[in-house]
Structure 1
C-alpha cells in the first residue's frame, strides 16, 4: 500500500486541449448529424414489436404511464415511496452498488422509435465526416441535461469525450481524449473520464475544460466511480486508485501484483458501507480475485480467489445481503456473504462471461447476460433459475432493469425487453450495427449506443412492477424451509416449447413462454421463492430490531 501526494505523477491542469464549448446550434443538415426531435419521416430502423405472446401478469405499478408519441417531455412516475423516474444516470452501474435498477422508473416496453441520434463519425464543430468513429464498452452517462459518451478510432488525435444535449441530441462541447472504452462518472460538478493513454482526467461538466490529469502506469479499462470525496478506478498497472476529485492527486493506491501478474480491472467497482468491491481478470495460468477494500484508506478487508484459468470476475453487484460475482474463470454465477467475503452462499453453472458482464439486482432477482447469447434470471437467495431467454448474439455488457422489464443489447445491435416475470419478450429493436452497451432509463426513455452513434429511444409504456414476483403470497399450506447450499440443483437450460400457460399472478393474465425459458419455474421453484422471500423478510426484521 502506498500513499502519494500526487506531486510527481499529477500533470498540471492547463486546459489547453479542451475545445471551446459551442452553443449547440451547428447545422446538422450540413454536418450530416441527425440532431433534433421532430421528424417528417420515420426512422430508417424498423420498429419491431415482435412479442412472444401476451406479457402481462406482472401486476400494475402504482403509477399509470401513458403512450409516448415522440415528444421529448420529462415523464415522472411516483410511487408509495415517493421515488421519481430519474432524470440523470451519474455513474456506470446506476448507483454505488451497481444494481442497474432505477426503482419505479417509467421506461418503454414496446413500439420503440428513435427520437434522435448523434453520429460520432461526424465533425459536429467544423462539419463533414472526418473519421470512422467507434463507441465500444462506453455506455452513456446522463447529467445536468447532457449525455456524456467517449469514442475511439484509428485516428487517436480525433477521439473525444462528447457532451450532447439530452433533449435535442445536439452537440454541446467535446474534450479531446484517447480511445475510451469506459463510461465516465459525474460528481462535484466534474466529469471523471479515463482512456487508453494511461491517465484519468477531471473535466468541468459545464464547459468541458480540463481541470486536472492523473497519470497511471498503463491503460485504464475501469469506469471511474465517484463517492464521498473520492474517485475510484482500476488500471492495468496492477493498481487500484482512489483519487481526489478536486485536484486529482492520489489518496491511496492498492497493488494487486503480489497476488498475480497481469491482472486487469474492467467495468466499475461497487461500493457499500465503507467497502469498495474490486474484481480482477487474469491471463491464462494466473489466478484472479475479488477484493474488499476499505474505502477510506485502501486497506484490504478481505480477498476471495476465483481460481486459475483464462478470465476472472466481471464487475460485481451488491444486493441487500450478498455480493454477486460473475466468475468467468469457472463459468458460473456466485453469491458471497459480504460480512467476510469468503463464505460462498450459492453458485450456478453454465455461463460464458465477458469481462464486462456485470449483473443487475432488483429485489429478489439477479439478472445477467452472457456470451452464450442469453439473459438469465435467478433468485437472489438460492440461485435457482427463474428463466433464461435467448438473444440473437452474445450479450457482453450488463443488462438493466426498469419498469418490470429487463433490457439487454447483443453484439449484433439488437435491443431486447424481457418481462421480469417469466422472461417473455416484450419487444426487440435494431439499434444498428455492432453494439456493446448497457441501456440507460432516464426521463421515461432509453439511451443507448451503437458502434458509431448515441441514440435516445422512446416508445409505448405500460406500468409494470417487479413487486408481484418478489412479494410472498399467502400459501394454503406452510412451505418447508429450504436450506441454502453451495450447489443448488441445476435446472434444464433448454427453453420449453412455446405454449401459452396461465400465470398465477394477481393480474390473472396469460403469458406465452416464447424465447423466455422457465427452467425450474414451477411449483417447486415457487415454494422455494416463497421460503426465500420469507427468509429475507425475517432477516430484515431482525436487523431492524438490532438497530433499535
Structure 2
C-alpha cells in the first residue's frame, strides 16, 4: 500500500480558468494577505428572524448531530434514546420509536425510504440498524464488536458505518441495505486505536481517515486504491469530496509553524494539489466544498471561525469570527450561499463575499450542519430542539 506524502508528490494542476497554474505542496506565502472580515457587518435584511418563520419541536434529548430531511419528514435522534419523525409542514410528531435509541446521540442518514443509525444500545451491545422511514419499524439490524461513530454514509445499495477499533481492528462496515448482511469490513493497516474521524463517498470510492492516515477504498469491494499519510499535522478532522478533489480538515502540529490545517488531494490517485496553514488557525474541524469555494469551520485561541477559501489556489477570501467564543459547527452550502450556526443563531452568508443575507434565532447552541432544502432550513440545537425556518432570502 503506497503512502503518498506532500513531500513525495508535487502536482501541476489546471484548476483555474485560463492558464493552468502550479500549486505546490509547500505552503505558499502568496495566499497570506488578510481575508475580508465580516464579523461585525449588519445583515442585508437588517433583521434577526424568530421561530415564527417556521416551527420548533422539542425539547427532547440533547442534539449532537444534524437532522435528516426527506419525503416530507424530519428525522432526529437525540440522546434520550428515541428516534422520531416530524412532519415538515406542521412540526407535529408523525411517529417515534423508543426502542431505536442508544445511550448516546444518534448520527442518522436517510436514503431510499429508510433511516440508518449506528450506536450503543441499552443492553451494552453495539448495533448497525435501519428503520422504515414512513413508520419507524425496524428493517434490519446487526450486532458488531466496535462502537459506531460518526454518521453513516449510504450510496448505491450499501450503508457504510465507521467505528472505533477498541474491541477489534475493524474501522468500517459495509452493509447491504436490502439484506442487512455485511458486504465487507476494513481494518486500517498499522493505525492507532480510537474513533474513525471522517468518511466521505464520491463516484464509487469511500474515503476514510483515522489518526494521520487517509484511505481511498473501492466502494464495492473495500480494496485499498491509495493511502496518504504525513507527519506535518497532528490529526485529521474531516473530509469533503467534490469535483475529483478530496479536501481534508487537519489539526496543525504546534511545533511546526508551517504545519497545514487544510489539504487538497486528487481523488483518483491521492496526489497532493495544495496544502496550507489557512489563517494559521489551530485546526479545521469541518470542511464543505463547492465548485469555487471551500468553507471551513476553524478554531484558534478560544475563538471559532467560518472561513471561505478559493478551491483553485487556496486563497483565503473572507472570514467570519463568532462572538463570545461561540462554537461554529458544520456548515452547508447551497445555491451560492453558505449556512452555519454560531451560538444560538444560524446565518446565511453570501459564499463569494461573506455578506450576511439573513440570520435566524434558535433556542440554544446550534449543533450539526443545517439541512437546507429549496424553501426551508432545519437546524438542531444542543438544548433538545429542532427548528424549521423559511429561507425567504
Do both proteins adopt the same fold according to a TM-score greater than 0.5, normalized to the shorter chain?
yes
Aligned residues: 331
1:314 aligns with 2:237: yes
Does the C-alpha gap of structure 1 residues 213 and 396 become closer, same or farther in structure 2, counting only changes over 3 Å?
Answer: farther
- TM-score, length-normalised on structure 1? 0.57
1:429 aligns with 2:357: no
Gaps of 5+ in 2: 1-38, 254-259
1:246 is displaced (CA, Å) by: 1.6
The aligned residue for residue 41 of structure 2 is 52
Q: Higher Cα Rg: structure 1 or 2?
A: 1
Work out which of the residue numbers 282, 291, 301 in structure 2 matches 1:352.
282
The aligned residue for residue 365 of structure 1 is 293
The aligned residue for residue 46 of structure 1 is none
CA distance in 1, matches of 2:367, 2:46: 21
CA distance in 1, matches of 2:43, 2:113: 45
1:303 is displaced (CA, Å) by: 0.9
The answer to whether the 8 A contact 2:149-2:164 is kept is: yes
CA distance in 1, matches of 2:379, 2:242: 25
The answer to whether the 8 A contact 2:322-2:328 is kept is: no
Does the C-alpha gap of structure 1 residues 309 and 403 become closer, same or farther in structure 2, counting only changes over 3 Å?
Answer: closer
SS for the counterpart of 1:152 is coil
Q: Deviations over 1:59-103 (max 9, x none)?
A: xxxxxxxxxxxxxxxxxxxxxxxxxxxxxxxxxxxxxxxxxxxxx
The answer to whether the 8 A contact 1:399-1:407 is kept is: yes
1:417 aligns with 2:338: no
The aligned residue for residue 177 of structure 2 is 245
1:397-476 counterparts in 2 under 5 A?
397-410=329-342, 412-451=343-382, 452-461=384-393
> What is the RMSD computed on CA atoms of the aligned residues?
2.4
1:142 aligns with 2:69: yes
1:294 is displaced (CA, Å) by: 0.6
SS for the counterpart of 2:329 is coil
The aligned residue for residue 26 of structure 2 is none
1:319-398 counterparts in 2 under 5 A?
319-330=242-253, 332-349=261-278, 350-353=280-283, 357-372=285-300, 373-392=304-323, 393-395=325-327, 397-398=329-330
1:423 is displaced (CA, Å) by: 1.4
CA distance in 1, matches of 2:159, 2:317: 36
Work out which of the residue numbers 38, 49, 54 in structure 2 matches 1:112.
49
Does the C-alpha gap of structure 1 residues 402 and 376 become closer, same or farther in structure 2, counting only changes over 3 Å?
Answer: same
SS for the counterpart of 1:359 is strand
1:421 is displaced (CA, Å) by: 2.4
CA distance in 1, matches of 2:46, 2:376: 10
The aligned residue for residue 546 of structure 1 is none
Does the C-alpha gap of structure 1 residues 266 and 164 become closer, same or farther in structure 2, counting only changes over 3 Å?
Answer: farther
1:265 is displaced (CA, Å) by: 1.8
The answer to whether the 8 A contact 1:112-1:460 is kept is: no
1:376 is displaced (CA, Å) by: 0.6
Does the C-alpha gap of structure 1 residues 199 and 306 become closer, same or farther in structure 2, counting only changes over 3 Å?
Answer: farther
Work out which of the residue numbers 141, 147, 169 in structure 2 matches 1:219.
147
The answer to whether the 8 A contact 2:307-2:320 is kept is: yes
SS for the counterpart of 1:223 is coil
1:270 is displaced (CA, Å) by: 1.8
Runs of 4+ that moved beyond 6 A: none
The aligned residue for residue 67 of structure 1 is none
Q: Deviations over 1:475-533 (max 9, x none)?
A: xxxxxxxxxxxxxxxxxxxxxxxxxxxxxxxxxxxxxxxxxxxxxxxxxxxxxxxxxxx
The answer to whether the 8 A contact 1:236-1:265 is kept is: yes
SS for the counterpart of 1:253 is strand
1:110 is displaced (CA, Å) by: 6.0
SS for the counterpart of 1:200 is strand
The aligned residue for residue 172 of structure 1 is 94
1:211 is displaced (CA, Å) by: 1.7
The aligned residue for residue 218 of structure 2 is 294
SS for the counterpart of 1:186 is strand
The aligned residue for residue 209 of structure 1 is 137
- TM-score, length-normalised on structure 2? 0.78
The aligned residue for residue 488 of structure 1 is none
CA distance in 1, matches of 2:173, 2:134: 26
1:120 is displaced (CA, Å) by: 3.8
